[in-house]
Amino acid sequence: MPDDIKRNLLFFEAPTMRELYRRMDEWQETERKRLLSMHGQRDGERFGCIALTHPPEKMMLASDGTGVDAALTQHGVHCLASMHSPNRA
């Protein structure tokens, strides 16, 4: 399993809350990942934040381009929800 899937804990630190926000926003833009949850607080003279990244999102398609859930349903496997539809926004 690739390391980016195993590791989802991050720590951000900055002298001000505004700078902490800027660093976290910049990280999201650079890494193109979402943060699942975060907790920030003052740590002495600085502000810190522990954050969890969102699990990697993959779109799975059947060979005909339909979502895997549609292909599995055709073969008698019932899926709970249509999360991998290529037409889903």
7 against 4, higher pLDDT: 7
Q: Count how many domains the chain has.
A: 2
Residue tagged 């193109």 (tokens): 32
Are 48 and 66 contained in the same domain? no
User: What pLDDT, on the 0 to 100 scale, is given for residue 2?
Assistant: 59
DSSP-derived pairing of the beta strands 9-14 and 46-53 = antiparallel
Are 37 and 69 contained in the same domain? no
Are 26 and 49 contained in the same domain? yes
Are 49 and 62 contained in the same domain? no
Are 36 and 11 contained in the same domain? yes
**Structure token digits, residue 49:** 């934040």
d(CA 46, CA 16): 6
Are 40 and 13 contained in the same domain? yes
Are 9 and 31 contained in the same domain? yes
Question: Which of these, 23, 19, 1, lies nearest to 11 by C-alpha position?
Answer: 23
Residue pLDDT, tens place only, 24-79 = 999 999 999 889 999 999 999 999 999 999 766 555 666 676 665 554 444 454 44
The domain containing residue 46 runs over which residues?
3-53
Are 20 and 43 contained in the same domain? yes
If phi > 0 it is left, if psi is from -120 to 50 it is alpha, else beta; for residue 76 that is left
Our CA angle for 87, 88, 89, nearest 5°, is 115
